[in-house]
Amino acid sequence: MDKILRINMGSAKGPELKTEPLGAYAGLGGRAMTSTVVAKEVPPTCHALSAENKLVIAPGLLSGSAAAMSGRISVGCKSPLTGGIKEANSGGQPSQMLARLGYAAIILEGKPKDDTLYKVLINKDGVTISPANELKMLGNYDLVEKMKAQHGEKIGCISIGPAGEMKLSAASVAFTDMELRPTRHAGRGGVGAVMGAKGVKVIVIDDAGTQMRSPKDPDKFKAANKEFTAGLRKHPVTGQGLPAFGTNVLTNVINEAGGYPTRNFKEGQFEGAAKISGEAQAKLENERGGEGSATHGCHRGCVIRCSGTFYDKNGRFVTKQPEYETVWAHGGNCGIDDLDAIAQLDRMDDDFGLDTIEMGATIAVAMEAGLAKFGDAQAAIRLIKEIGQGTPLGRILGSGAAVTGKVFGIERVPVVKGQSMPAYDPRAVKGIGVTYATTTMGADHTAGYAVTANVLGVGGTVNPLKPQGQVELSRNLQVATTAIDSTGMCLFIAFAILDQPETFQALLDLINGFTGLSLTADDVSNLGKSILKLERDFNRAAGLTKIHDRLPNYFKTEPLTPHKVTFDVSDEELDQVFNF
């Protein structure tokens, strides 16, 4: 990874391609790369859809190597949803492929002079960009089929669906998985709208003729990788829970803990949880034959393999195994307990290019507004269809929960910085509430996954129902996560490295063996802190203040069943998260 591909979409003569050396960005990967480029090159007060914003796509530092779990990719920009900086993270194949082709980042910048839509093709011979108006308003699935027909079965695709083309604030960027399906998404914050504003429909990557990236110290790297992999296989979460039931193993766990947001965050337990749990889902998937549950990684090199395939009752592919957050968003949060309907909603979100978390939260707000009844799966499907059709209602919904709440006059909208909360009620899982409130990203569970110590007993234990200890827990996780998001590693490695010092050491050895550096745990922590500072400074300059580091007031006043708890971490404590 020794170069950056920069495409100026606003050049007078049409898109202008430039391949640059890394320069000041050398040594950065993933979130460290995207956030540094955005902080350095994007004016914080610019309009997110303007020429001044940039979309940065960056493989992790270890992507393209043999390091296990290193295939995650970051997408960064100023977010049209939050108004702040954004890093949205995805699995899929493109990270490994881009890294092998030597690209540490793709930067899309400028604003197209007209509404021509473009296709970018990257292979070992270089980069081409060409008009592709025939792709307009294609769903991601049809789009990828077309790309396969044109470029063969060994490509990877980074694309937007109709939502991104319409520049809707809940639009995602899709990444193809190992089966060349557009099932992996940089979902959050409307990164797809920014790609749409740049006029790029799809980036096709063909890494034929390239090699795996080589470590500086092959022996150290190989030994560390072995130890690291063993550590992941040993830990109960990454070695058993996730492989057996996928991320949806959490439904029963979080519901049991009384922190499962139900019907637009009105209750903390869902009576239909068992019907949509990971256990029920695995059983169903296995019954329907073909590839069963938990048989897949989202990218080559994954050893956890928390994914799978969801077939309909006739054994036809519907979607990848829906994730916990998706099952919750379209399930319990909408009062829906029908796995087939949820899988269909997941498929539609992926096809239109929409963040499933934002969509589930939005449909629930729409249900609260009376557009449909909680529990009405067919109505939810109809509402999501409106987005694909680009109707006015569809555009409202595709703009996310905050806009939907505003347009329909609804007060109870579970967002922070305009972004919807994920699948943990902050009143009953207070550590994640601190993360929702304070992360630079808007409400986001992956930014500091305090569910670990709050509920799972991983990385220690902090009572989820009490305010004590949550700020420190969230801070430490936010710092560590920022570093992990820069390596290209899947965040799920955190379970093992939090609990097993030897696995954490193996990760350090892996990084050092690959890069030839001698990073310590402190160095990694300092990297995390320095990126968080960059992000926070960007947000400050964009007009986000500590007032925006708060949950909506009703979380402080409406007690949540069954524990009858409110969010009671004080504002003063929240302001101590960034004490470095």
The residues that touch a copy of itself, with contacts defined as CB under 8 A, are 43-47, 49-50, 52, 80, 166-169, 193, 196-197, 391-393, 395-396, 399, 403, 406-411, 541-543, 545, 547-548, 550, 552-554
Q: Which of 375, 390 has the CB closer to a copy of itself?
A: 390
In this structure, how many other beta carbons lie within 10 angstroms of the beta carbon of residue 43? 13
Choose between 211 and 545: whose C-beta lies nearer to a copy of itself. 545
Nearer Cβ to a copy of itself, position 231 or 418? 418
Backbone φ and ψ of 570, nearest 5°: -70, 155
CB of 485 to a copy of itself, least distance (A): 27
Strand blocks (E) in 135-280: 156-159, 173-175, 184-186, 200-205
Residue number with CB closer to a copy of itself (273 or 380): 380
For residue 544, the minimal CB distance to a copy of itself (Å) is 8
Do residues 303 and 66 lie in contact, with contact meaning Cβ atoms separated by under 8 Å? no
Query: For residue 2, which amino acid is it?
Result: D
Angle (CA) 181 251 292, round 5°: 40
Q: Which helix or strand (DSSP H or E) is residue 498 part of?
A: helix 493-499
Q: How far is CA 218 from each of CA 273, 355, 508, rounded to the nearest angstrom? A: 47, 39, 14
Report the nearest approach of a copy of itself to the CB of residue 233 (Å): 46
Which amino acid makes up residue 123?
Answer: N
How many other C-beta atoms lie within 10 A of the C-beta of residue 219?
9
* Secondary structure string (H, E, C) spanning 334-402: HCCCCHHHHHHHHHHHHHHCECHHHHHHHHHHHHHCCCCCCCCHHHHHHHHHHHHHCCHHHHHHHCCHH
If phi > 0 it is left, if psi is from -120 to 50 it is alpha, else beta; for residue 505 that is alpha
**Residue 545: alpha-carbon gap to chain centroid:** 24
Smallest distance from a copy of itself to CB 79, Å = 12
Q: Which is nearer to a copy of itself, 391 or 520 (CB)?
A: 391
Helix/strand/coil percentages in the chain, nearest 5:
45, 15, 40
Tell me how far, at minimum, the Cβ of 548 lies from a copy of itself, in Å: 6
Distance in Å, CB of 547 to a copy of itself, minimum: 3
Three-class secondary structure of residue 88 per DSSP: strand
Closer of 139 and 552 to a copy of itself (Cβ) = 552
Q: How far is the CB of 369 from a copy of itself (least distance, A)?
A: 10
Could you tell me the smallest distance in angstroms from the CB atom of residue 109 to a copy of itself?
Answer: 15
For residues 86 and 395, which CB has a smaller minimum distance to a copy of itself in the complex? 395
Q: How far is the CB of 391 from a copy of itself (least distance, A)?
A: 7
Nearer residue to a copy of itself within complex by CB, 314 or 545: 545
For residue 400, the minimal CB distance to a copy of itself (Å) is 9
3-state SS class at 104: strand
Nearer CB in complex with a copy of itself: 59/426: 426
Q: DSSP readout, 404-419? A: HHHHTT-S---EETTE
Q: Which is nearer to a copy of itself, 64 or 552 (CB)?
A: 552
Task: Tell me the C-alpha distance between 287 and 536, whole Å.
Answer: 48
